[in-house]
Amino acid sequence: MNDIKWSKPEKKIARGAFEKAYVRECADFAMKIRAQVEKISKPDDIWDLHKFMTEKIKEIEGKYYYRYSVLILVFARLVKDRWLDFNDLKGLPESKIDCTESLVDF
């Protein structure tokens, strides 16, 4: 995975796809926060919301790791989790798309 080279135009497409997925997942996260906030009726609900946010932030920070050496793995996970689809990766060479697909299936 470390040997995969990224050209300048590929890096641009990759960065765009990565950002798109991040914004989508955060928008969904914000929606879930809003839904939970609406239900706050006692102090414990605040602590539950904070716990939910801490866990989700930890998950997001662990997942959105922008290093070219692991980017195919990151993309495969984002496709699997439906924050990204192959249209977002359009323009990348077939070898990288195939590799991502194999990892999604795996």
Binding to a copy of itself (CB under 8 A) within 39-58 occurs at: 40, 42-43, 45-47, 49-50, 53-54, 57
Residue 7's CB is within 10 A of a number of other CB atoms, namely: 10
What is the DSSP secondary structure assignment for residue 81, as one 8-state letter?
T
Pick between residue 1 and residue 23 the one whose CB is nearest to a copy of itself: 23
Q: Does 63 bind a copy of itself (CB under 8 A)?
A: no
x-or-dash string of contact with a copy of itself, 66-105, rule CB under 8 A:
----------------------------------------
Listed in sequence order, the residues at least 6 apart from 77 whose beta carbon sits closer than 8 Å to its beta carbon are 63
Pick between residue 29 and residue 68 the one whose CB is nearest to a copy of itself: 29
- Here the tokens at position 73 are 């793995």
Cα-atom radius of gyration of the chain, to the nearest Å? 17
Q: Beta strands of the chain (E only): which ranges?
A: none
DSSP string, 34-63: HHHHHT--SHHHHHHHHHHHHHHHHHHHHH
Q: Does 23 bind a copy of itself (CB under 8 A)?
A: yes
Q: Which residues bind a copy of itself (CB under 8 A)?
A: 22-23, 26, 29-30, 33-34, 37, 40, 42-43, 45-47, 49-50, 53-54, 57
